[in-house]
Amino acid sequence: MTSAAIEVFLQTLIAGILLGGLYALIGLGMTLIMGVMKIINLAHGELMMVGMYIAYWMFVLFNIDPYLSVFIATPILFFLGIALQKFLINPVLKVDSILPENQVILTVGIGMVLANLATIFFKSDYRSTPVSYATNAFYLSDYWRDSPIELSLSVPWTVSFVLAVIITISLWFFLARTDTGKSIRATAQDTDAALLMGVNVKLMRVVTFGIGSGLVGAAGCLFLPIYYLFPSLGGQFTLIAFVITILGGLGSTIGAIIGGLILGVFESMTATYVGMGWAPVGRFVIFVVCLIFLPGGVASLLKRKKLGK
């Protein structure tokens, strides 16, 4: 390989990992909800959109950096998630209906309402936060004068990635070490057993939905400096989260993280070596291949090798 080819490869890999880290954070929230409640939350992308609007207005009105808005948007989304679960999804869970998955359909409706409310309030304008560091980057040649190749690392992308990793680690810590976290995991593994062990399953469901929403709200704040914002942006991210959830193996957190990274790298590689127009196709090739050959997702591989739980 020539140095130019290596440069292209490394730059693509960097882009893929950065994107994958953010994808993983989007996927995590959906996976968590999937694991505990056994439903796919199809309003996931719209919740992210809400998070992004919160960060956007915080920046425009109070000049608060989108990264600091993580601490504002996450709690708001957490309580929004709790409210949605308590007043909309829980009542529907109790009703017998001809459709077995009527809660899933309900989440589609919630998503539509959110997207249309955003259109009414904020119009369908495209917006972005003109943060001052939006196009700053670190360059390899600045640190190593005569390097044969030039690589660049965008500042906002890197910050978003690092924050995503920190949020993911703290989530893992929460799930592994705290009582509430253990209860959530117990509910995800076996609802009846958890109930018999004295876990307040109902409360855990509510809390999980809140955490899932909070996570995706945080992801929205991290996306704002590198992307832009419009009311109907939710759909494409719901789709990404869905693919990651399947890829990771319905409900496995570690699976979702690995799934997100795989998807990010795969998309970037497709864009470089096949064609950018093919990147969305690549996404669904992975999806279908995973459904056919690895129905348990990454999690089932981990289990086989006795790596995860």
Partner 1 sequence: MRRLSILLILVFMLGIFSSGIAAADTLNLSIPLPLTGSQAKFGEMEKKSYEIAAEEINAKGGIKGKKVVLEFEDSQGKPEISRSIAEKLIDVKKQPFIIGDYSSSCSKAIAAVAEERKTPYLVVTGAADDITQQNYKYVFRMNPSSAYYSSGLMSFLSEVVKPKTVAILYESSDFGTSGAKDMENQAAKTGMKVLVNEKYEKGAVDFKPVLSKLKATRPDVIYMVSYVMDAALLMKQIKELRIDAKLFAGGAAGFAIPEFIDNAKDAAEYVVTSTLWSSQVTYPGAKEYAEKYKKMNGDYPSYHGAEAYSALYILKDTLERAKSWSSEDIRTAMKATDMVTAFGPIKFEDKDGYQNQNFMDTLVLQVMNGVHQTIWPKKYATTKYNYPIPKWRDRK
Binding site for partner 1 (CB under 8 A): 4-5, 7-8, 11-12, 15-16, 18-19, 119, 123-126, 128, 130, 134-135, 137, 139, 150, 152, 154, 223, 226-228, 230, 232-233, 236, 267-269, 271-273, 275-277, 279-280
Q: Which is nearer to partner 1, 15 or 211 (CB)?
A: 15
Work out how close the CB of 59 gets to partner 1 at its nearest, in angstroms, rounded to a whole number: 14
Q: Which is nearer to partner 1, 4 or 193 (CB)?
A: 4
> Can you tell me the distance from the alpha carbon of 158 to that of 67, in angstroms, rounded to the nearest whole number?
12
Helices (H), the chain: 3-37, 44-62, 70-84, 90-94, 102-122, 140-143, 155-177, 179-189, 191-196, 201-223, 234-248, 253-273, 279-293, 297-304
Supply 82's token pair. 């709790």
Closer Cβ to partner 1, 21 or 259, answer by number: 21
Instruction: Tell me the closest approach of the beta carbon of residue 198 to partner 1, in angstroms.
Output: 44
Task: Give min distance, CB of 58 to partner 1, in A.
Answer: 19
Nearer to partner 1, 57 or 227 (CB): 227
Write b or e for each residue in 202-238: b if 16 or more Cβ atoms lie within 10 A of its Cβ, otherwise e.
eebbbbbbbbbbbbbbbbbbbbbbbbebbbebbeebb
User: How far apart are CB 188 and partner 1 at their closest, in Å?
Assistant: 30
- When the beta carbons of 76 and 271 are compared against partner 1, the nearer one is 271
What's the min distance (Å) between Cβ of 199 and partner 1?
39
| Beta carbon of residue 214, minimum distance to partner 1 (angstroms, whole number) | 22
Distance separating alpha carbons of residues 209 and 85, to the nearest angstrom: 7
Quote the CA–CA distance of 214 and 230 in Å, as a whole number.
20
Is the CB of residue 219 less than 8 Å from the CB of residue 26? yes
Instruction: Quote the CA–CA distance of 167 and 184 in Å, as a whole number.
Output: 18
Looking at beta carbons only, is 21 or 214 nearer to partner 1?
A: 21
Of 209 and 223, nearer to partner 1 (C-beta) is 223
Contact 187, 199 (CB under 8 A): yes
**What would the two tokens of residue 224 be?**
């704002």
In contact, 15 and 268? CB cutoff 8 Å: yes
Q: How far is the CB of 285 from partner 1 (least distance, A)?
A: 15
